[in-house]
Structure 1
Amino acid sequence: MEPGAYGAGKAGGAFDPQTFIRQPHTVLRMVSWLFSIVVFGCIVNEGYINRPDEKEEYCIFNRNQNACNYGITVGVLAFLSCLLYLALDVYFPQISSVKDRKKAVLSDIGVSGFWAFLWFVSFCFLADQWRVSKKENNPLNEGADAARAAIAFSFFSIFTWGLLTFLAFRRLGEITFQEEYNTLFPSSPPVLA
């Protein structure tokens, strides 16, 4: 692809799947998507247990229903956000307006930064609740692997979303000389002699 506004080729170019898959922000978005699946999948599958003498299931994170709900909610919404921004990345080269491309990149910066923060909160919350539950409420250590996986992948997600934020900042600054030139000197029809 030719260089263009905000890291994309000229509008209207053909979509090249190999180039798309090899872009760092696409790879990171797919990794973030996978991490979100691991987090909410672990909590949904093994995040609730009950003892033989109890009828109700409880959250393995210190019996705190909010911890499980938060992990599942952040995981599912991050999953959907990744899909939305992957679709935007596919559509991005077709956007002809530099202003619209800038809006897309700015929204990517905001959303990626927001998700990095939410994953940081998720990591801290789940790790703290697991620490407390390990001491008091889970003597059989049931669901320990799932809890550790959810905590670990919440931690990894902080970095993937942080890197997505960094790449979006970098993408914002990638305006080529040709587009700056076209902005300063709009093209005029050729003069016939």
Structure 2
Amino acid sequence: MDGGGAYGGGKAGAPFDPIAFVQRPQVILRAVCLLFAIIVFGCISSKGYIEKGGKEVCLYNNDANACNYGTGIGVIAFLASIGFLAGEYLFEQMSSVKTRKHYVLGDLGFSGFWAFLYFVGFCYLTNAWNKSDRPKDGYGINNVQGAIAFSFFSIFTWAGCAWFAFQRFKQGTDAAFAPSYEADPTGGQGYTSYPDATDAAYQEPPFAQQQQKGMGDFQAPAY
């Protein structure tokens, strides 16, 4: 990660480099999260339901909540990934350290929470599918299993995003408590120089006035 600015970002106002941007680990991982989210909700939306008795029934053990849960976390993950990609683009332009800190904490909290929701979704969909009757002619099996598989993969991608956000936060915290003085080149403790006050205090010889006063005290009396 680039340590040129606060919280692992470059210095604010630096020119935008698109090649360096797309090569960032955070950007790559966020793009993978975006792709996996599309696959999860796309698989369930396209062939996650089958028509029975004139109405659509979820293939996950006829449990509409399972289909709704998988679609919901996928759609929100898709939107959140777009938002965080935009945040990565704007991160370099954030001149305020507090703004960067709030963004990093938001990334950490959301990514960790969404990794947990994908874990719950993976367990939920897997359990429901194991209890389901296989649809006639294998309709939608690949889509249903694909949604389960990419829910599993999404656990690690979102956990990876949370880990990168934690590293950023730790880097920003370490920089905040770093010593602000420079050490002596010889390895000793740093010091500061004090202004020389003797020039202002003694602009005249210190004993000049006393000598003149003494000479006046011992003048011979006039007759």
Show the counterpart of 2:29.
28
Show the counterpart of 2:109.
110
Aligned residue among 110, 129, 139 for 1:142? 139
For 2:164 and 2:176, how far apart are their aligned partners in 1?
20
Equivalenced residue count is 180
Show the counterpart of 2:131.
132
- SS of structure 2 residue aligned to 1:57: strand
The structure whose residues are more often helix, as a share, is 1
For 2:173 and 2:162, how far apart are their aligned partners in 1?
21
The structure with the largest alpha-carbon Rg is 2
- SS of structure 1 residue aligned to 2:138: coil
Aligned-residue sequence identity (percent) comes to 48
Pair 1:152 & 2:153 matched: no
Larger relative contact order (C-alpha < 8 A, sep ≥ 6)?
1
Pair 1:71 & 2:44 matched: no
Aligned residue among 165, 170, 175 for 1:168? 165
For 1:31 and 1:24, how far apart are their aligned partners in 2?
11
For 1:58 and 1:176, how far apart are their aligned partners in 2?
51
Show the counterpart of 1:92.
91
For 2:174 and 2:34, how far apart are their aligned partners in 1?
34
Q: Which amino acid aligns with 2:55?
A: E
For 1:137 and 1:104, how far apart are their aligned partners in 2?
45
For 2:20 and 2:169, how far apart are their aligned partners in 1?
19
Show the counterpart of 2:44.
43
Pair 29,117 (structure 1): closer, same or farther in 2 beyond 3 Å: same
- SS of structure 2 residue aligned to 1:49: strand
Q: Which amino acid aligns with 1:83?
A: I
| 1:36-68 alpha-carbon deviations (Å, 9 max, x no partner) | 0000000010101125xx211111110101111
Question: Does the 8 Å contact 1:4/1:176 carry over to 2?
Answer: no
Q: TM-score, normalised by structure 1?
A: 0.86
Q: Which moved more, 1:166-175 or 1:68-77?
A: 166-175
How far residue 27 of structure 1 moved from its aligned partner, in angstroms, is 0.3
Provide structure 2 residue ranges, at least 5 long, that are not aligned to the other structure.
182-223
For 1:14 and 1:179, how far apart are their aligned partners in 2?
25
Pair 62,176 (structure 1): closer, same or farther in 2 beyond 3 Å: closer
- SS of structure 2 residue aligned to 1:10: coil
Pair 28,21 (structure 1): closer, same or farther in 2 beyond 3 Å: same
Provide structure 1 residue ranges, at least 5 long, that are not aligned to the other structure.
186-193
What is the RMSD computed on CA atoms of the aligned residues?
2.0
For 1:177 and 1:66, how far apart are their aligned partners in 2?
45
For 1:178 and 1:31, how far apart are their aligned partners in 2?
30
